[in-house]
Amino acid sequence: MRFAERTNWPREENALTLAIRRQRSLGPVLDLTVSNPTEVGLGFPGEALQVALHSALLHPYQPEPFGLPSARAAVSAYYRARGLVVPPERIAIVASTSEAYLALFRLLAEPGDEVLYPVPSYPLLEFLTDLSDLKLRPYPLGLVRDRWAMDPDELAAALSPQTRAMVQVGPNNPTGSCFDPAERAAFYGIAAERGLAVISDEVFLDYHPGTFLQHSFAQDHEALSFTLSGLSKVAALPHLKLSWLVVNGPEVLVAEAMARLELILDASLSVATPVQAALPELLPAAEKVQAGLRARIAQNWGQVAPLHPLPREGGWYTLVPVPEGLDEEVLAIRLVEEQQVLTHPGFFFDLAGGSTLVLSLIAEPAVFQTGVQRLAHLLGG
């Protein structure tokens, strides 16, 4: 029996994973990495969810490749409330941003082609490009005058003849950074000049203090672009499995992309009808959920100040520098074993230097405060 080489990923458990398993067998661990809002008391209100889904469960099945017209209109209204004009005809409903990435990789690239992505970043894209028989090429984000910045020259240097798309994540996970206007213009300019597609992952954009209109890529520019978001972060509903992508750019390219995407998405029809039918009620109600998340993020951000976190703009993660002479993985293991506190070492997100811990700002406040105090105690020792 033979399995595909593309799935031959390393599966050995690292030292931190083993330490966590041992500690959890002995007792509870304070998890400062939690990213699921439904686990920390910040999920969508149960009664409102029941009301939204009740009648939707009776909605007749309609196999629409781009999603129900009512669902696409609800996403259009979501953007309109944020100052953007996004016609429903430019929107496709998908089950997840991962599915959106896979559909776009199939649309844009042949096996062996390359996709540019920011580093540091969430490690999901490595698996998705592997599954698509594509290669990832990084472009760096670096700290420049107290903000994480993209250098257009470094971005251009990362390009190759095999590059087909460039990914930006705003706010980035885990740095929390967004492109400023100059970076945004350079990013689009390079894409248009080279004939490349732009993929903008904006799942955390509602958790950025700046204006949505200023940072969203869901508007027309000179390059073909695809903007991704979904209920997982927008409404704290990761278990309902509904996301979307928006197509923008020159009209001729948009029309061709939509025609090809229709066939790709029609092959799976993966989004359940009830959640699509409920979307017109779920998205407007998400505002209160977001308010709770923003309050939690602000509260925990205030607690982490004594650890001198690195600059962040938005999202719900923070980066804590490790003092010189300490290794982040060793420190993360010691935190688990000696303080029963779980953190992510920076190398999980391709943060260079071995000197950073990644914490989630949506952990329950009492857990977060105690965990930060224990981390400070260990660093002080």
Please tell me whether residues 75 and 131 are part of one structural domain: yes
CATH number of the domain enclosing 311: 3.90.1150.10
| Cα dist from 67 to 55, 196, 313, 378, whole Å | 18, 26, 33, 51
* Residue 3 within any structural domain of the chain: no
Please tell me whether residues 321 and 362 are part of one structural domain: yes
pTM of model > 0.85: yes
Please tell me whether residues 141 and 224 are part of one structural domain: yes
Residue 89 pLDDT level (bands cut at 50, 70, 90):
very high
Pairing of strands 91-94, 243-248: antiparallel
What's residue 324's pLDDT?
86
Q: Of the candidates 283, 301, 328, which is a domain's last residue?
A: 283
Residue 22 pLDDT level (bands cut at 50, 70, 90):
very high
Q: Cα separation of 104 and 100, whole Å?
A: 6
Put residue 133 in one of left, alpha, beta given phi > 0 → left and psi -120 to 50 → alpha. Answer: left
Please tell me whether residues 201 and 307 are part of one structural domain: no
Residue 331 has pLDDT above 90, yes or no: yes
Please tell me whether residues 259 and 279 are part of one structural domain: yes
* Residue 302 within any structural domain of the chain: yes
Please tell me whether residues 238 and 321 are part of one structural domain: no
In this prediction, residues 200-216 reach a mean pLDDT of 94
* Residue 220 within any structural domain of the chain: yes
102 with 132: CB under 8 angstroms?
yes
Please tell me whether residues 91 and 134 are part of one structural domain: yes
Q: Of the candidates 283, 300, 327, which is a domain's last residue?
A: 283
The string of pLDDT tens digits covering residues 152-176 is 999 999 999 999 999 999 999 999 9
In this prediction, residues 341-349 reach a mean pLDDT of 96
The string of pLDDT tens digits covering residues 285-306 is 999 999 999 999 999 999 999 9
What's residue 381's pLDDT?
55
Average per-residue pLDDT for the chain: 95
Residue 356 pLDDT level (bands cut at 50, 70, 90):
very high
Please tell me whether residues 145 and 206 are part of one structural domain: yes
* Residue 147 within any structural domain of the chain: yes
Domain that holds residue 310: 13-43+287-380
Q: Computed from CA positions of residues 286, 291, 292, 296, in that sequence, does the dihedral angle turn out positive or negative?
A: positive
CATH number of the domain enclosing 243: 3.40.640.10
What's residue 325's pLDDT?
86
The string of pLDDT tens digits covering residues 40-53 is 999 899 899 999 99
Please tell me whether residues 116 and 256 are part of one structural domain: yes
| Phi, psi at 327, each rounded to 5° | -95, 135
State how many domains the chain has: 2
Residue 138 has pLDDT above 80, yes or no: yes
362 with 300: CB under 8 angstroms?
yes
In this prediction, residues 315-343 reach a mean pLDDT of 95
Q: Of the candidates 283, 316, 351, which is a domain's last residue?
A: 283
Please tell me whether residues 109 and 154 are part of one structural domain: yes
* Residue 50 within any structural domain of the chain: no
In this prediction, residues 260-266 reach a mean pLDDT of 98
Please tell me whether residues 249 and 164 are part of one structural domain: yes
Share of the chain above pLDDT 90, in %: 92
